[in-house]
Structure 1
Amino acid sequence: MCKTPLHGFLAALPKAEHHIHLEGSLEPELLFELAIKNNITLPISTDSAFASIESLRERYQNFRSLDDFLGYYYIGMSILINESDFEALAYAYFTKAASQNVRHAEVFFDPQAHITRGIELSTIVESFRRAQIRAEAEFDMTTQLIMCLLRHLPLSGAMETFTQAKDAGYFENGTLTAIGMDSSEVPFPPPMWKDLYDVARELGIRGTIHAGEEGPPIYVTQALDVLGVQRIDHGIRALTEGDDTLVRRLASSKTLLTMCPLSNVKLNCIASVESFPLRRLIDAGVRFSINSDDPAYFGGYILENYCALQGTFHLGIREWEMVSKGIIMGSWCTEERKGQLLLEIEDVVNEWAKVVEEQ
């Protein structure tokens, strides 16, 4: 956690999160608890990391790549079996997020990874919805669900899962806000999923996709041009390797990049937080948000990501105001909710600006 004079300000600052995988918030403690409850044997015989909570958490400190991480990610989610498991997972994240003053959260989940294990889509979605209702009542937090499809699986499976969700009315009634696509980025370029995104767009369903994390900047361009997405998840290589034309395009279109600093370091996308392109994002006027991605695996929820950036780049209160308001404006909540959150930000900024002036 940062030790700068603005730590209290960062903690108090109202936040919105746009890039959090619910399955990626499965802490080792809950993983072991549910494995015991559901009589699931973890692969201790082939991987000593599963010998204890402590050894597993230590292993999470040393991922070599995205695929190395995903191996543990999919083992972890295998312990999610019944409705109470999914609800417990989501509610644990909402509780943690609320403690760090997340006021609005747009969360990912991976239905295919569960459906292929024989779990019904309705079990997953409706369990998460119950956790959302609890979070809204107890924490005054608004939340939205984004259904991510897995790009390492065939298009036919993605289409089938999407159709199930559509036919169940989950998009029409607002239970699901958008579709996304995650898992291994290379070698699965965005054009492979054109048919899926074409159907979603024709139905008025929003789209986002993981692009430019391990894949090249051209994946970001393809996602915009071929898939017509409204948002890019990660996109860091567009800033660290892309040309000025792409950066200017992102800025002028106000396309939100959902950035994940600690995740990028953990997965060796960048060498350190110092390599995160924060100043280029701000100077170029690119709209972006700061997120935790898979916090149980990467050692930091949203506040830890804010603190890591502050400890490196030393932004001022007014700079954080600009960043925070951009995050809210890039959200998919209602205009009324955006207005409420913008006022909350202004109140905290004004309060802390007076504190700093008096020091």
Structure 2
Amino acid sequence: MTIDLAAFARALPKAELHLHLEGTLEPELKFALAERNGIALAESTVEEVRATYDFTDLTSFLAVYYPAMGVLQTARDFEDLAWAYLTRAAADGVRHVEMFFDPQAHTSRGVPFADVIGGYRRAAVRAQAELGVSAELILCFLRDFSAEFAMATLMEALPYRAWIVGVGLDSDERGNPPEKFAAVFARAKQEGFLLTMHCDIDQDGSIDHIRQVIEEIGVDRIDHGTNVVEDPALVSAVRERGLGLTCCPSSNSFVTESMKADEIVQLMREGVRVTLNSDDPAYFGAYVAENYVLLAEHAGLEPADLVTLARNSFEASWLTPARKAAFLAELDAFAEEQGVARG
């Protein structure tokens, strides 16, 4: 039986673990929110907005990314943004998602923390009820702000502890190593949050940063982290600890010269829990199912390999054991129905 790879990838039950809600702001919604909030934009068409997406590295991406968030003003705006993503995710076979959000990008311009998380939370609850999609929130600190601001944001988040599954670290990695936030993450762990940190691809000090997050911070997962292939001892540590790596092929190809397909596949073959995700899909042009297809086509993967990647996504998630087992059973049933050997 010949399998339509795109259709298979889209229907494949999966979790998405590396998704920035602010990175799902499609131009059409940007215009709608600007009109709602009386904001004048520099661009007048969708094509003009997309023409600004000329990224050569992480820094050039962030220079476009943060200003676009200015259209997000109210709890309703944040709910609409998350709902638009969750609807798209459901159509892509996503059964569970752990979504990053950047409160400091909003509170630093006067938007109340309560409005940010309140809007996102309403969309997450609605997604479970109306779409059958399980959704959790991960609060990310912006690493190019101070550790003191991060700690203050953590304190502001504590009343909403039940709505936040974990904390992460993102934004510009240059000069902002993981150890800068060691005390913040230690306090977050004490408060019961799970931990993850971005170790973006091909950064100055990538290997040392990966070592820091494993040995000093003690994270539960690593975002990106593909440069770990450069150090076999660290690969062994990641595998032995069962740490997931949340890889993003499409965004990799925008900010570096490749999607890191060879490295992702190598790690998968070596038994590391690599997962595929869309990162900031409105900017990089590929939601999660498309990332599965892009990697499969580039690396010559078979449907069974995609099942392995989907299995990794559930195993690397922060679901409870019972919920994780239920999603894995759903994945196994799908693979059997499609005539694909268990990944």
What TM-score, normalized by structure 1, do the two folds share?
0.90
Distance 1:53 1:276, change over 3 A: farther
Q: CA deviation at 1:82?
A: 0.8
Residue 284, structure 1, aligned to residue 270, structure 2: yes
Please point out which of 300, 314, 321 is paired with 2:300.
314
Q: CA deviation at 1:10?
A: 1.4
Structure 2 unaligned blocks of 5 or more: none
Question: Counterpart of 1:133?
Answer: 125
Q: CA deviation at 1:259?
A: 0.5
Distance 1:187 1:255, change over 3 A: same
Residue 228, structure 1, aligned to residue 218, structure 2: yes
Q: CA deviation at 1:354?
A: 6.8
Identity percentage over the alignment? 38
RMSD: 1.7
DSSP 3-state at the match of 1:144: strand
Residue 106, structure 1, aligned to residue 98, structure 2: yes
1:181-260 alignment to 2 at 5 Å? Answer: 181-215=169-203, 216-239=206-229, 242-260=230-248
1:1-359 alignment to 2 at 5 Å? Answer: 5-42=4-41, 44=42, 50-60=43-53, 62-166=54-158, 168=159, 170-171=160-161, 174-215=162-203, 216-239=206-229, 242-268=230-256, 271-273=257-259, 275-353=261-339
- Is the 1:197–1:228 contact (alpha carbons within 8 Å) kept by the matching residues of 2? no
DSSP 3-state at the match of 2:338: helix
Q: CA deviation at 1:248?
A: 1.3
Partners of 1:285 and 1:175 lie apart in 2 by: 32
Q: CA deviation at 1:313?
A: 1.9
Q: CA deviation at 1:214?
A: 4.0
Larger deviation: 84-93 or 64-73?
64-73
Q: Deviations over 1:108-165 (max 9, x none)?
A: 0000010011111111111111101111111111010000010000111111010011
Partners of 1:197 and 1:122 lie apart in 2 by: 22
Question: Counterpart of 1:47?
Answer: none
Partners of 1:4 and 1:311 lie apart in 2 by: 13
Q: CA deviation at 1:267?
A: 0.9
Structure 1 unaligned blocks of 5 or more: 45-49
Q: Deviations over 1:201-236 (max 9, x none)?
A: 222221111014242111111111121111110002
Distance 1:302 1:275, change over 3 A: closer
Partners of 2:294 and 2:44 lie apart in 1 by: 31
DSSP 3-state at the match of 2:272: coil
- Is the 2:226–2:260 contact (alpha carbons within 8 Å) kept by the matching residues of 1? no
Partners of 2:258 and 2:340 lie apart in 1 by: 33
- Is the 2:264–2:274 contact (alpha carbons within 8 Å) kept by the matching residues of 1? no
Q: Deviations over 1:315-338 (max 9, x none)?
A: 223332222212111111122221
